[in-house]
Amino acid sequence: MILYLLFLILVTALGLLVTLAVIDLRVRLLPNVYVFPFAGLGIVFHSLAQFDIIPISDMVLGGALGYGLLWIIRFFANRHYGQDSLGLGDVKLMGAAGLWLGTEGILFALTLGAFAGVAHGIGYALAIALKNKTRPDFHRLMIPAGPGFIVGIIAVAIWLYTPYFTEWLHGFGT
């Protein structure tokens, strides 16, 4: 019964991430009304799983690491560019994701998310250039970071949680 609840929590978290990605693409915001429940679900998930997947200490460190690293990047990028170059919603999202993924997982998610963001930016710049029949302009390209980070979060979550549910399904069949 508990595994069904864990699965339902994962599906709900995925729905929140998809919602956040769509909102960020449309209005460049990651509202707390979706980020905070995502964080809370991570805490509930690991509590119900009795911290078998990620120990509580790693969960807390992952949250702090995700938040802290992105806050530092935001601080220096904002100073360099003289404007907000990364929103606090992105910082809070990665802090929440760290609760889900732990220290190792959040580092992978940040890395994959950054690559997904770069791919998104290149694709966006090329699409605009094609549409306007001009050369692609990558200078000061402004795209929301959240969707890229969300790609990284989902990819790492699949890698991290699939063995747990696969093991349960094998046990269920015997």
pLDDT confidence of residue 172: 59
Domains of the chain: which residue ranges?
2-173
Q: What are phi and psi of 48, to 5 degrees?
A: -65, -30
The pTM score is 0.92
Dihedral angle sign, alpha carbons of residues 113, 162, 100, 102: negative
Structure tokens at 89: 């919603």
Helices 56-81, 32-48: axis angle to 10 degrees equals 160
Place of tokens 């790609």: 151
Do 59 and 46 contact (CB within 8 A), yes or no?
Answer: yes
The span from the CA of 4 to the CA of 9, in Å, is 9
Specify the residue for token string 């390209």: 141
In 3D space, the residue among 94, 121, 132 whose CA is nearest the CA of residue 25 turns out to be 121
Looking at residue 141, what is its pLDDT? 79
Per-residue pLDDT of the chain (174 residues; tens, 9 = 90+): 788 899 999 999 999 999 999 999 999 999 999 999 999 999 999 999 999 999 999 999 999 999 999 999 999 999 998 888 889 999 999 999 999 999 999 999 999 999 999 999 999 999 989 999 999 888 777 889 999 999 999 999 999 999 888 877 776 555
